[in-house]
Amino acid sequence: MASVASQTSRSGTDAQTARSADRAERSSAPDVVVVGAGFAGLYMLHKLRTLGFSARVIETADDVGGTWYWNRYPGARCDITTADYAYSFDPELESAWTWSEKYATQPEIMRYAQFVAERYDLKRDIDFGTRVDQARWDDAAGRWHIHTSGGETLTPRFYVMATGCLSAPKEPDIPGAGSFKGEVYSTNRWPHGGVDFSGKRVAVIGTGSSGIQCIPLIARQAAQLTVFQRTPNYSVPARNGAVAPARLQQLNADRAAYRQAAKLSRAGVPMPLNMVYGRYAPPELRTQLLNQGWESGELVAAISIFADQGLFEDANELVCDFVRDKIRAAVQDPATAEALCPKDHPFGTKRPCLDTGYYETYNRPNVRLVDLKRTPIEAITASGIDVGGESLLFDAIVYAMGFDAMTGALVAVDIAGRGGQTLKQKWADGPTSYLGLTTTGFPNFFTITGPQSPSVLSNMMVSIEQHVDWIGDCLAHMRQRGASVIEPTDTAESGWMQHCDDCAAITLHPRANSWYMGANVPGKHRGLLPYIGGVDAYRKACDEVAERGYLGFSFSGPGIAGGRSTEDGVVRRLQPDVRMVQEMMAALNLPTFDSLPPDAARGLLAQINSQRPPGLPVGEIRDGTLPGPAGALDYRLYRPDTPGPHPLAVYFHGGGWVLGSHDSDDPMLRDLCRRSGVLIVSVNYRHAPEVRFPAAADDALAAVRWAGEHARELGAIPGQLVVAGWSAGGNLAAVTCQRVRDEGGPRILGQLLLTPVTDCDMTTRSYVENADDYVLTAPLMRWFWDHYCDPADRADPRASPLRAKDLSKLPSAMVVTCEFDPLRDEGQTYAAALAKAGVPVQELRARGHTHLSPTMVDVVISGEPVRAQMAQALRGFFAPTQASRA
Ligand X SMILES: Cc1cc2nc3c(=O)[nH]c(=O)nc-3n(C[C@H](O)[C@H](O)[C@H](O)COP(=O)(O)OP(=O)(O)OC[C@H]3O[C@@H](n4cnc5c(N)ncnc54)[C@H](O)[C@@H]3O)c2cc1C
Residue 477 and residue 537 in contact, taking contact as beta carbons nearer than 8 Å:
no
Question: 298 by DSSP, 3-state: which?
Answer: coil
CB of 839 to ligand X, least distance (A): 57
d(Cα 478, Cα 578) in Å, to the nearest integer? Answer: 34
Query: Which range of residues in 11-19, 54-62, 431-439, 490-498 is near ligand X by CB under 6 A?
Result: 54-62
Q: Which stretch binds ligand X (CB under 6 A): 73-81, 496-504, 675-683, 816-824?
A: 73-81
- Should residue 459 be labelled a site residue for ligand X when binding is judged by CB under 6 A? yes
* 540 lies in the binding site for ligand X (CB under 6 A): no
The residues in 75-104 that bind ligand X, with binding defined as CB under 6 A, are: 76, 78-80, 85
User: How many CB atoms are located within 10 Å of the residue 647 CB?
Assistant: 27
40 in contact with ligand X (CB under 6 A)? yes
* 41 touches ligand X by CB under 6 A: yes
The yes or no reply on residue 517 touching ligand X (CB under 6 A) is no
Q: In this complex, which beta carbon is closest to ligand X, that of residue 258 or of residue 280?
A: 258
Binding part of the chain for ligand X, among 35-43, 780-788, 849-857, 858-866 by CB under 6 A, reads 35-43
Q: How many residues bind ligand X (CB under 6 A)?
A: 36
Least spacing, CB of residue 425 vs ligand X, in Å: 18
Extract long-range pairs of 791-797: CB within 8 Å, 24+ residues apart: 793/693, 793/694, 794/760, 795/760, 796/693, 796/694, 797/735, 797/738
CB of 65 to ligand X, least distance (A): 7
Q: Using CB under 6 A, which of 83, 195, 392, 464 touches ligand X?
A: 464
User: According to CB under 6 A, which one of 30, 33, 62, 66 is a site residue for ligand X?
Assistant: 66
Q: Measured between alpha carbons, how far is 66 from 70 in angstroms, rounded to an integer? A: 6
Tell me if 733 sits within 8 A of 700, measured CB to CB: yes
Pick out residues in 627-656 that bind ligand X (CB under 6 A): none
Q: Among residue numbers 220 through 279, which ones bind ligand X (CB under 6 A)? A: none
Q: Does 460 bind ligand X (CB under 6 A)?
A: yes
- Asked if residue 861 lies in contact with residue 575, where contact means CB atoms within 8 angstroms, the answer is no
As measured in angstroms, the least distance from the Cβ of 3 to ligand X is 18
At its nearest, how many Å lie between ligand X and the CB of residue 454? 10
Smallest separation (angstroms) from ligand X to the CB of 353: 10
Q: Which is nearer to ligand X, 162 or 716 (CB)?
A: 162
| 106-119 helix and 39-51 helix, angle to the nearest 10 degrees | 10
Of the two residues 464 and 740, which places its CB atom closer to ligand X in the complex? Answer: 464
- Whole-number Cα distances in Å, 381 to 2, 155, 799: 13, 48, 81
Q: With contacts defined by CB under 6 A, name the span among 67-75, 234-242, 745-753, 768-776 that binds ligand X.
A: 67-75
State yes or no: residue 676 binds ligand X (CB under 6 A).
no
Q: Is 405 in the site for ligand X (CB under 6 A)?
A: no
CB of 314 to ligand X, least distance (A): 30
CB of 215 to ligand X, least distance (A): 14
Q: Smaller CB distance to ligand X: residue 79 or 858?
A: 79
Residues in 146-175 at the binding interface with ligand X, rule: CB under 6 A? 162-167
87 vs 651, which CB is nearer to ligand X? 87
The answer to whether 846 and 816 are in contact (CB under 8 A) is: yes
List the interface residues with ligand X, window 435-454 (CB under 6 A): 448-449
Please name which of 115, 88, 83 lies closest in space to residue 102, comparing C-alpha atoms: 83
Closer Cβ to ligand X, 35 or 688, answer by number: 35
Q: Residues 186, 401: contact at Cβ < 8 Å?
A: yes
Give the three-class secondary structure for 239: coil
Q: How far is the CB of 414 from ligand X (least distance, A)?
A: 10
Q: CA–CA separation, 82 vs 181, rounded Å?
A: 39
Q: Which of 36, 216, 237, 746 binds ligand X (CB under 6 A)?
A: 36
C-beta separation of 745 from 811 below 8 A: no
Nearest to 23 by CA among 51, 58, 49, 52: 58
Q: Does 289 bind ligand X (CB under 6 A)?
A: no
- Segment interacting with ligand X, rule: CB under 6 A, options 10-18, 36-44, 570-578, 813-821: 36-44
- Asked if 746 and 704 touch (Cβ cutoff 8 Å), the reply is yes
- Determine contact, residues 864/836, Cβ cutoff 8 Å: no
Work out whether 210 is an interface residue with ligand X (CB under 6 A).
yes
Q: Which backbone phi and psi does 455 adopt, to 5 degrees? A: 35, -110
* Interface region with ligand X, contact rule CB under 6 A, candidates 33-41, 385-393, 439-447, 824-832: 33-41
Closest CA to 629 of 683, 578, 695, 682: 695
Instruction: Pick between residue 150 and residue 569 the one whose CB is nearest to ligand X.
Output: 150
199, 268, 316, 686 from 81: Cα distances, Å: 34, 11, 24, 58
For ligand X, which stretch binds (CB under 6 A), given 30-38, 357-365, 481-489, 685-693? Answer: 30-38
How many other C-beta atoms lie within 10 A of the C-beta of residue 385? 23
d(CA 669, CA 682): 8
Give the span between the Cα atoms of 306 and 290, in whole angstroms: 9
Nearer to ligand X among residue 190 and residue 685 (C-beta): 190
User: Edge-to-edge strand order for the sheet containing 553-556?
Assistant: 485-488, 553-556, 564-567
- Residue 577 has a CB neighbour count (10 Å cut-off) of 21
Rounded Cα gap, residues 749 and 778, in angstroms: 33
How many Å apart are CA 826 and CA 720, to the nearest integer? 29
The DSSP result for 387-448, as a single string, is ETTEEEE-SEEEE---B-TTTHHHHTSEEE-GGG-BHHHHTTTS---BTTTB-TT-TTEEET
Among 30, 60, 392, 728, binds ligand X (CB under 6 A): 60
| Shortest Å, Cβ 9 to ligand X | 14
Question: Of the two residues 63 and 594, which places its CB atom closer to ligand X in the complex?
Answer: 63
Indicate the residue among 455 and 817 with the shorter CB distance to ligand X: 455
Residues within window 604-623 making contact with ligand X, judged by CB under 6 A? none
Please report, as residue ranges, which positions from 105 to 144 form the binding site for ligand X (by CB under 6 A): 131-132
| Count of other CB atoms within 10 angstroms of residue 765 | 10
By CB under 6 A, name the one of 413, 492, 517, 537 that touches ligand X.
Answer: 413
- For ligand X, the binding residues (CB under 6 A) are 35-41, 58-61, 66-67, 69, 71, 76, 78-80, 85, 131-132, 162-167, 210, 409, 413, 448-449, 459-460, 464
